Structure 1
Amino acid sequence: MTRTGMDEADVWSMKRTTSAVAGHAVRDVLLWTVLSGAGLLWYLDRARSSLTLGLVIPLLVLAAAIPGSRRRPGVAVFLVHALCALGLASPGTPANAYLLALAVLSFLLGTRSAGTSPALPMLAGCLAVDLGLCAVLRVDAVYWFYAMTLLPLTLVLPWLTGRYWRARQALVHGGWQRARSLEKQQGYVAEQARMRERARIAADMHDSLGHELSLIALRAGALELSPTLTGQDRKDLAQLRASVADAVGHLRDTIGVLRDGATAEPMVSSVESVEQLVERVRGSGVDVVLRCEGEVPALPPLVDRAVYRVVQESLTNSIKHAPGSGIRVRITRNGGRTEVQVVNSPFVTGRLADTMSGGHGLTGLQERVLMIGGTLRAAPHEGGFEVIATLPDRVRTDRPGTAETSGASFAENAENAENAENTHSDWDPASESESVRRLASVRRTARWRFALAFGAPAGIGLVTALSAALLAYQLATCVLRPLDYAALRIGAPRSSYAAVLPQQTFRYPSDHMKAQPAPLGADCEFYRSNANLLEQVDVYRLCWSGSRLAAKDVLPGRPGGG
């Protein structure tokens, strides 16, 4: 039987694992299809690109990086980043279609990495590779701008977004875990309250039943002395009295075991009546009114004690959670049933005596009422609170399974009671539990990550925008129009072209431009031929000998270009 159960569990676990693996594979294929589609469109737009370097190798890298990101997300990001870094060696433009793949894999790195330790060195390594390539290849300013802004932005922003997403999911998951734990704990506490109430019922039974048995033993002892009895009758009565005495002793021992440690609060004497209880509470300064209606029958001890406990618990809750309010107690006996109603008036403004109650007294009270076949209803009432218990005059054996709750469960009514009790409470920091402190800590961490996820990209975006604006200004103010270039004449003085020469020279000529031969002793200046900021354009070189133009050349923007 055990072997079969283990086999069934193993089969179910294998099916679940297989289903999860299949789901991961489907999602990976879909993601690869989308990212590969972007790469294919980029390749088709550049027909002169190599098929192997431009399409085959990138698709194979994506096919390895996407599923590999589940176990090694950092390695996957580094592989896709290598595809983007290849653009730095392109003679056309550094940008390519794999920036989208890099952003997606960076986001997955943030969601799948528990901390920042694995990710930060990898991101720093990617940046070092980009800057190293730019330095080795001696690329133009546009490539430096791409390496220092677009690539880091594509790496950092999705990663921070993924970290924020992971933190939020962890917060939600932890909240549900805490809720389930509290639910189990609340069930345990409620069960403890029921057990304590049953111990109290057992104590009441000892007080009442033990008293009756003692009377039986006393009467048996009196009959034993009767002169009209035979010797056998006296012997039987002596055995009866001894049996009753033994029963009383056994009952006392059993109840003593049940009561030992069952409750920490002192038990009020069982001989105290409801009238005496109310009078004692009124004597302490509480505004309480007792009203009894109907004839007073001789109730069984359990029912009489239940009436007392309903009034006692209701008065205790009213005094504890609504100090200063008026309390009305009404006991109505009619038709073989006793109804106990305790209502307190709306709460008086001010600090409550105890705002952290758990409603366990109501749980125990429900247990007592149900055990004798009664019903209990507890709910807010006209700004205050109302408890109504209906008890039979005789203990019923067909006890209902649940209490009457006016269309809601007793637990819901107890929760409503606690909400009503805590409406005017003042927060006490000393009452914070460990869960409250942990929740506050997690929320602070989540807010910090949220601020970082949006603040860091905003800072990077600001730096990027300022850098782009500066670069655009430099490139736009060093443009010599082709018509003005054509109008320049060798040997003409510089002053004659002061109106057409740009304010600034082009500061970023490539090495092959600088290596072009120039007239001996001449100073050469470079100017861009148009204001296109994203493409490499032809560059005009003007060489001045003193104040006169010694040479002018058109240098192609791309090496090997015409």
Structure 2
Amino acid sequence: MDDRPLPVRLRPLAGPVAVVVLAGLLALPQPRPWTFLLLAVVACAVGLSDDGARRGAAAFLLATATVMLLTLAQGNDPAVAAREMLFASVRGGVPWLVGYAWRLRTQVRRQAVERLAQERHARRDSARRRRDAERLALAESLHDHLGHDLSLVALQLGRLELDPDLTGPARDRVAAARRQLARAVDGLGTSVDSLRSGAAPGLARSDDVVALLTEARRAGAAVSVTGLSHELPGTADRASLVRVLREGLTNAVRHAPGQPVTVAVAGEGPLVVTVRNPLAPHPPTGRTSGTGLASLTGHLERAGGTLHAGDDGETFTLRATVATRRPAEAFTDDSRPDDGADDDDHEDDDGPEREAALLSGARRRGRVVLLAATVVIVAALGAVEAFTLVEAHRALLPEQDFARIEIGDARDDVTHLLPEHELLPPPAAEAGTTCHDYAITTARFDDASGDVHRVCFTDGVVAFAGRLAPADR
């Protein structure tokens, strides 16, 4: 049994249903004003859909086949069906093209934003690799040169400690110096490992939340976590969350080793992350650069979040608000995507110019799409207007000729007054009666434009001759 909600189950049917509805509206023989409005809405929605081109073509072909079958079944002239489909294609094609062009414009801009994000991600990775290579080279240099020299000094002190000529106090001072140097060598090794990984001693530089917490516990940190599940909200900025947790755990491991650390995560829109640890009774000596919190604050503020950190004399608390990721569709012309690059990533010198050129090109292509759609719409409307004008010229019945036609006149007596062609479609009439509509004027801005002269014949004589407005046809 399918447990999905009903709207989710019916979603695959939305496309075919829209095609059928659009085809039915296009095939209506005499649309009314409300039909025009409904047709415009449905056609625009089909154009905006994911597969707007194929669905629009399918609706047009289905409507054409329906109109042709109905025409042949009723014994009418196929030219009437062709004329109706011409006007129907313009009625439905204009709003469809508007929707389709708007979707193309949005797609062009979204592709530009995605490409920009990919390029920025590539530059970020390149900068990170360069920085990691520099860090590794520095770590190896410290390990190979300074570590070796300190080991030699420790060896010399060990030999000096065994010198029988030293007095007892002097030997004790040498032994103390050797032990201090040994601790310094161990500290150097720990610092080299930290420099290699870019994290606190024993804390891996991981981009996975679970791995980060696991490594922190493995390093000896007593970490308890609440409110953090394996499935984060789909809009959560995972990169920022990992960075907040890394900074909080790194501070705890460095400045309060052995103290328990509590991590709490709450919320689904913006995530509120809180990292707490008691202050160490005897904090480690030495100073740090202090740039970690400042860098993290700047990163979160640019992403729409906040950071507050400090202690109350007993507990150090780091509280961060991690904003949700912005979808690509939300970027405006002047916005720039934030793909979570680190603050200290060094991008190429031509990065900003490349980004500006890429977004400018996307906006330009979007305007070209809308301009092309406008040109097509104007051309289509112009073609319909020209067709209507030609049709009116061919079916023009001047007022002076129409005035000579009277009810009761024989058909043969008035045939020479009537044009060879009539306006399509021919009006419906009762059995035994045929009616014909003729244009009154070809001037589009004349008050009589759209009105017709209608002449009906019954049993070979004129049964009706009158003037009708478009609404009365």
TM-score, normalised with respect to structure 2 = 0.47
TM-score, normalised with respect to structure 1 = 0.41
Task: Report which of the two structures shows the higher radius of gyration computed on alpha carbons.
Answer: 1
